[in-house]
Structure 1
Amino acid sequence: MRTWAILGLVVSLLAGTVQAGREWDDDRERYQKPKWKQKDYAVIRSVQPRYEQISQPRQECRSEWVTETVAQPAGPHYGGTIIGGAAGGAIGTQVGKGRGRDVAIVAGTLIGAMIGNHVADPTRGTASAQTVNREVQRCRQVNDYQQQVRDYQVDYEYRSQVYSTTMQRYPGEPGSRLPVRVLVELDD
């Protein structure tokens, strides 16, 4: 029983020490925080815009006319084939008797069609060339540069002291009021 009492006493002492340490940390933070804040106004002395150069890429295109030679294959000519086939078939009817005559008609028609096709278009294997003008658009990327206000260098006076800072927005004309936040802390 005595052991349990001693153990309980040790645990409660340790818990009290930890709690006291936390309170001491809270007090230290409380003393480090600012004691007083106030809003006031300063007078703007000068405002200087600071610029940066910005690149904006864009496409620049122009058209030009190009002359080129285009090969054009010859189209089929059926007139010579039909006339040659008919003439060959007519000649085939004059040759042979019976089944031989039928074979002669078919052979005459085929041979006549091939000859008629060749006679109608002797340049069939070669393609004709034609000169053509066409419009071509050529584009390239160019950069346009322009200046843009990056921020403002501001000099202002507060209680006979001149301070300098940079601001993202325009604060106002020199001589106008600028809202400031005054922070008073203890001097250690």
Structure 2
Amino acid sequence: TNVANWWDNGNKHISFSRGGSGFIAFNDDTGDLKQTLQTGLLGVTYCDIISGDMFQTRLLKGTYCDIISGDIFHNGLSEGTYCDIISRDMFNTGLSKGTYYDIISGDMFQTRLSEGTYCDIISGDMFQTRLSEGTYCDIISCDMFQTGMSEGTYCDIISRDMFNTGLSKGTYCDIISGDMFQTRLSE
């Protein structure tokens, strides 16, 4: 993809776009950049990715822009649910059925997606596994696989080892640390 929308200040600031992504670079400059930049991206409001402040994309309800990659994606979350693009945590208030646990950050979030639809917590993209109960998604590689194990059996998504937590329904295993915890969320 060709470079477009090139701009520089004649010194140490540059910006440009390529495909669906916009880029800006500073090189050892102590001055502030006060410039309107052309990115070629959709006309939306973006997030200050340094401070991690939240943003409103003004895209269709439930549609967000990953301002790191420039990709637009529909996360299936309701209006008023936001994505922290630094940690990529999804969150909402008053969580209920269809509430999932972000096993990286420990945050709870509401996908409002149908049963069998899961969230790739690495990229933030939502996808439909269309697989039966007991089938899980490897959230690192996005590969789908069938554990063939009963409810309450989980897969370590790092090593792909299978294990039974022996914990009751609604109790989950932190697959990073191996600690067990109760989410206290409804099914």
Q: How does the TM-score come out when normalised to structure 2?
A: 0.13
Structure with more contact order per residue of length (Cα contacts < 8 Å, sep ≥ 6)? 1
User: If the length of structure 1 is used for normalisation, what is the TM-score?
Assistant: 0.13
Bigger Rg over Cα: 1
Q: Which of the two has greater helix per residue?
A: 1
Query: Greater strand percent: which structure?
Result: 1
